[in-house]
Structures are given as structure tokens and as C-alpha cells.
Chains A and B, each alone.
Chain A
Amino acid sequence: METPLVSRDYILHRIRTALGRGAGQAVADPPPARIRVPQVSMELRVASMLERVRALAGEAVASSDPCAVVANLIAGKTALASNAPYLAECGICGLPGVRSGITGREELREICATVDIGITSADYALADTGTLVLLSSPREARMISLLPPAHIAVVPRERILTGLDELFALLPNPAEASSSMVLITGPSRTADIEQILVRGVHGPGQLTVIVV
């Protein structure tokens, strides 16, 4: 078996030979990155966010009382809320049927595998695509937006950015804050079978976004 170091040097050597260059030759700058951040008012961002989520067959609600909206959606079902401080602030963690404050790996998996709904906040949202941006952390476990069949995200409107370009224009880069950042755009889906759209393959089939 080749030792790892040999393959590494072998591959790099082949690359340099193919390119006809010596080791450590300086790289020219890449062409400029293309980032366009449009000016969009908060009203329009909220409107676009709601419209895009609905276009992807998600539910979208703007409300000043997220706790009431969530209570309505739960209606006797069970839910697990993430440890995002914002959810506690809204009083969602205290609703009947909602569990929260889980920190252990095994416990988290077990509960996520049995509840009907996972409730999270979002670190950002992207208005032009209807996207949620979640940074994985002890406060925002990824299982909650993944395992249960339904996902509710509660997002304060200040966190709505215009789009992907603005997210990448933020400094410091928000993605640096976590080992895993995920962009969620609509419910989990597939069109593998005869190009017929089916929702809820591995991730949640129902997505509700509440903009506060």
C-alpha cells in the first residue's frame, strides 16, 4: 500500500509537471468575486421572504405574537424547541407539549425521532430565495430541523438579509462561527421518481416560517 505522504507528493508532482511549473511559484490573483447587494427595504424583504417560502410549498406567517401562532400549530401535537435564546424570549419553550433544554446527544436523538415538530430560530434569513440560515451550536442543534416530520422556524425580521450575496458580504463571515452552517430553502424534496415532486424525503416535509 502507498503511504499517504507518497501519494500526496506524487499527486502534487504530477500536477506541477502537467502545469509545467516549479514548486512554490506565486499564484496570480483570481478574477474578482461577484457580489451584488441590492438596497431593499425591510417591508419588501419580509414580503419577499413570505412569498418565496410559500412558492416552495412552505407556510409563511408574519406575526407580532409568534407564541400564539406556534401554540395554534402545535394543537395537541408534541414538539421539541432548540435552545436558541430567542425562542425562550418569545415564551415558546413554555407552551404545553413543547420540550426544550436538551443537551445530551442520545437524549436529543431519541426525542427528535419521536416528536411531531422541531422548532428552531434562524441566525439569518435570505429574502430573495426564502432561505433560513442556521449555525449549528449547543443552542441550535441540527437534528431539530432534520429529524421531525415538520419544522417551524421563528425569525425576528431584523435578521432577514436581501440574499446570498449579502450573507457572503458580512464580516466577519458568519459561517466562521460554527463547524456547520446550513442554508435551508423550502421543505426536503426529491423529483427522482418520474420527475414528480415529493416532499419530505429525509428532512421535514413541512416547513413553517414565522417572521416576527
Chain B
Amino acid sequence: MRTQPIDQVAAGLPAETKTAVYEGSKIGHEKRTKLLFDHYGDPNRLRTLAGEIKQHVVENLDTYLPAVEARLVANGAKVHWAATAEAACEAVYSILKARGAKKLVKAKTMVSEEIELADYLEKRGIEALETDLGEFIVQLDHDHPSHIIKPIIHKNRRQIAELFEKSGLGAYDDEPGMITQRARQFLRHKYLEADAGLTGANFVVAESGRLVIVTNEGNSRFCLAATRCHIALVGIEKILPRDRDLALFLNLLARSGTAQQLTVYNEFILGPRAAGQPDGPDEMHVIFVDNGRTDVLASDCREILRCIRCGACLNTCPVYRKIGGHSFPWVYSGPIGAILTPQFMGVQHEPALPFASSLCGACGEVCPVKIDIPKILLELRSDVKKADAREHKNRLEKLGFRAFAWMMTHPRIFEMAGRIGRSMGWPSGNKGPMGAWLSERDLPPLPAHSFRDLWRRR
């Protein structure tokens, strides 16, 4: 097999990282399988239904989005729209600027990773602090998350303890409980001082305008309860039709993602705080982000938009387990990353990604919304091949014309070529690149004598 750029990155990973990722993703996968099959007689029926519901939303986004918008506005939220990453960053920044806000606490959101929000804000003098423990550690280390729900799966506790020591968060101690306590103490003050809190949303319900935010640590609750202004970055595909659908989806998300019956905190946010409530934000903003999603909708793999970012396909993927998330070039890694990235960035941009899979089919088996990941990977591979072939053909054609121009500007060569041509005829047949080129073009018959010949014989 040809080696891919991704293999080279993977080959360069330290053994320590590989072990951490391998163990972490394997544990996640085993627990998940047990839980799903223990509690549900037929989890596959649930996956099918969940897939159908999300597909229905995706197919009717044009109606659901304005409906959600109307509900949100009625509930007292402000709604913003951002077509690109840049526009989304700008939207957040202008909300903060209007309030004179300087300090933002962030819960984990994949959209903010996509649009590189923290960098954007830091450059404009706003502190944007990650509060999810893993993301906080990644931010301290100027690193990047390597798993969509376990961002520091690639780090071990010794590395983290060293980082904390270096960052002035206490003397070296690699006990995970101690590391967590230190982060807790540090972040606690930050929440209470912050001017605004930013979250994503796991689901937005069309009929009620309700945002559902799911965390295990409780950081998003803090971001909301402690600050005066709540900003939610939401991908346009995050909609569910009804509140009642949440029963199914919250179950599937927790079981598939982290092998829990339910995630510790499931928050249902309907708007800013009501009069008399002693905590909670006065202002609530929801930013709907496209950033490539409508391109996916227009493509023939729009079913990827069902994805609820549970991470199960990463945990189960033999390739991900071996090479880890950093071998993937964008914020999404694993099987879902292998399809999202070329879809969002164009296949030409990341042609190697769809090949970073052994096509064993494991990801398709676990996906709670039954996205046929292996099939999409295959389709993307053929897209890459087609794009490659097109590119290849263009190169030959250019080369051909360059040779032709050279011949035309060198009289002796031209004459010789004419003689050869007349004695042998035009290159004929339909084989090879020339044949392909000629299949769409006609050449005039060669005259019996060249102009030069006639001139000399005159």
C-alpha cells in the first residue's frame, strides 16, 4: 500500500501517546457496547429511528431553521447567523464588544474549535478561557484537542503534572484527583469574574426553541449561572423536531459517547433568566453557524449532517486507536473526521483522509444515528480518484501543447515532424492519452504535400 501523509504523522508519534490513545479509545468502546446491549433489547431499532428523525430534519432544514428562530426570539433570545467561520467569530466579538466584555468563559463546543474562536478573541484583547478540564489543559499547553469528546486522550498524567508545575498551578503532583482540584480552584474564580459565558448546544428543539447542553463536569452550568450574558454557537444541523425526541437522543448520546446511562448534567435552556431568578444570564444570544454545512447539504453525502458528535466511531476505529487524533489535519478526527474534513474543505484539500481507514465497517456499526460511514468513505475515495484523474489529464494536455509550441517555433523540427507525419499518418487509434484527447476532437486530414515543399518546387 502507498503510504499516506497521515501515516507519516502517525509514525512520528511517541510510543507514550500511542498507548494513551489506544487504551483510552478501547475502554470507551467496550463500555459502550455493554451498556447499549444490556439496557435495550434492540438498540439497532433505536439507532434507525434516531437516524430517520435527524435525516428528516436535515431534509427540511429550510423550514425548521426559521421555526426555531421564531421560538427563540419569542423566548427572549437574540438570533444571529454566520455563513463563515470569520462571520461567526465576528458575531461573538461584536456581542462582547457591545457589552464592554473582556473576559469570556467557554464550555466545550466543537463549533468554536472549527472557527478558531479563542485565537480570534485573544488577538482582540479578550480572554477566552476554556473550562472543560481537558480543553483547559490543551489551552494551557498551546496544544490541540485530539478527540471530539476526550480532548486530552493523547496526554498522560505525568505530562499534565509537569505542565501544571510550569504554569504555576502548584508543585508536581500527577494524581488525577489533585490535578482536577487545582483546575477547579483556578477556574472557580474565573467563572465568577467572567463577563460572558459561551457554550455550544447538543440539540435545539424546533417546537420550543429549547437549547440542550450536555456535560459531565458542570462547566457549562457555571458558564450560564455565573455570567450575565450567554452566547451559544450552534451548527445549523443541530435541530430536533420535538421535546419528546430528547428522551431517545439523550439516552443514545450518553451511552454511545461515554457509556453512561445519562450524562451528569443535561441542561434545558429556554431563554435568559426570568424576573426574580437570582442567577442566570440577562441576555442570551444564539449564533447559527453554516461554515460549510450547506455545501455538505448540497453534496451526495448529506447524511453526515445527522452526526451528534458522540465520538463512538473514534473509539471503535482501529485506525484511530493506532494513530490518534493529531494525525488528522482538522478539529474532527477518526472516521467522522475523515468524512467531515474533505467535505468541509473540499476533497482536493485533504485527499488522503478518506484513505485513512481500513474500511472494516466498525464505525458504521456503532453510530447512534446510523450514518453509513464506510459507504461515504468509499464514495469520497472515488471522488478523490476522479479529481486526481482530471488533474492528471490536464497535466498531460499542458505538456502536449508545450511540445507542440516548441515544434512550431523550430522550423527544422517542424519540417521533420511533417515528413514523419505524412509517411505514418496522424497518430490514430483510441489508445493512450492521445486517444482520449482525440475522442472529443477531429483533426483535419494531412495534405499530401507541405506548403514548404510546394514552394520549393514552384
Q: Is B357 an interface residue (CB 8 A)?
A: no
Q: Is A68 an interface residue (CB 8 A)?
A: no
| Closest CB in chain A relative to B265 CB, distance in Å | 6
Q: Is A185 an interface residue (CB 8 A)?
A: yes
Q: Which A residues lie within 8 Å of B277 (CB)?
A: 136-138, 141, 179
Q: Is B59 an interface residue (CB 8 A)?
A: yes
Given A164-B251, A201-B180, A203-B217: A129 in contact with B298 (beta carbons within 8 A)? no
Complex CA gap A25/B151 in Å reads 41
Q: Mark B263-297, 1 if CB is under 8 A from A, else 0.
A: 11111111111101111100000001010001001
Q: Is A65 an interface residue (CB 8 A)?
A: no
| Closest CB in chain A relative to B19 CB, distance in Å | 10
Closest A residue to B57 using CB positions: A30
| Closest CB in chain B relative to A127 CB, distance in Å | 12
Closest A residue to B177 using CB positions: A198
Given A137-B277, A183-B265: A30 in contact with B242 (beta carbons within 8 A)? yes
Taking CB atoms and an 8 Å cut-off, the chain B residues in 137-152 that contact chain A are: 137, 150-152
Interface size of B by CB at 8 A reads 100
Q: Which A residues lie within 8 Å of B64 (CB)?
A: 27
Is B56 within 8 A of A31, CB to CB?
yes
Complex CA gap A35/B163 in Å reads 47
Is B225 within 8 A of A143, CB to CB?
yes
Complex CA gap A25/B61 in Å reads 11
| Closest CB in chain A relative to B275 CB, distance in Å | 9
Taking CB atoms and an 8 Å cut-off, the chain A residues in 80-127 that contact chain B are: 102-105, 108-109, 113
Given A17-B298, A179-B280: A34 in contact with B218 (beta carbons within 8 A)? no
Interface band, chain A: 35 or more
Is A183 within 8 A of B179, CB to CB?
no
Partner of B60 from the list A27, A108, A113, A176 (CB cut-off 8 Å) is: A27
| Closest CB in chain B relative to A106 CB, distance in Å | 9
Is B53 within 8 A of A142, CB to CB?
no
Q: Is A44 an interface residue (CB 8 A)?
A: no
Q: Is A4 an interface residue (CB 8 A)?
A: yes
Is A176 within 8 A of B176, CB to CB?
no
Is A146 within 8 A of B243, CB to CB?
no
Q: Is A41 an interface residue (CB 8 A)?
A: no
**Residue among A14, A105, A201 facing the most chain B CB atoms (10 A cut-off):** A201
Taking CB atoms and an 8 Å cut-off, the chain A residues in 27-43 that contact chain B are: 27-28, 30-31, 33-35
Is B156 within 8 A of A194, CB to CB?
yes
Q: Which A residues lie within 8 Å of B298 (CB)?
A: 14, 17-18
Complex CA gap A183/B184 in Å reads 21
| Closest CB in chain B relative to A157 CB, distance in Å | 20
Is B266 within 8 A of A11, CB to CB?
no
Closest A residue to B23 using CB positions: A195
Partner of B290 from the list A11, A25, A128 (CB cut-off 8 Å) is: A11
Q: Which A residues lie within 8 Å of B264 (CB)?
A: 184-189, 203
Q: Is B246 an interface residue (CB 8 A)?
A: yes
Q: Which A residues lie within 8 Å of B265 (CB)?
A: 182-185, 188, 203
Q: Is B82 an interface residue (CB 8 A)?
A: yes
| Closest CB in chain B relative to A50 CB, distance in Å | 15
Is B269 within 8 A of A11, CB to CB?
no
Is B137 within 8 A of A181, CB to CB?
no
Q: Is B241 an interface residue (CB 8 A)?
A: yes
Complex CA gap A16/B108 in Å reads 31
Residue positions of B touching A, CB distance < 8 A = 20, 23-24, 27-28, 46, 49, 52-53, 56-57, 59-66, 75, 80-83, 87, 90-91, 131-134, 137, 150-153, 155-157, 160, 176-177, 179-181, 183-184, 187-188, 191-192, 208, 210, 216-219, 221-222, 224-226, 236, 241-248, 250-251, 258, 260-274, 276-280, 288, 290, 294, 297-298, 302
Residue positions of A touching B, CB distance < 8 A = 1-2, 4, 7-8, 10-12, 14-19, 21, 23, 25-28, 30-31, 33-35, 52, 102-105, 108-109, 113, 128-129, 131, 136-138, 141-143, 146, 164-165, 167-169, 173, 175-176, 178-196, 198, 200-203
Top 5 closest pairs, chain A to chain B, by CB: A203-B218, A18-B298, A201-B217, A192-B134, A33-B244
User: What are 9 A-B pairs at a CB distance below 8 A?
Assistant: A4-B80, A4-B81, A11-B81, A14-B83, A27-B64, A181-B270, A193-B133, A194-B23, A194-B156
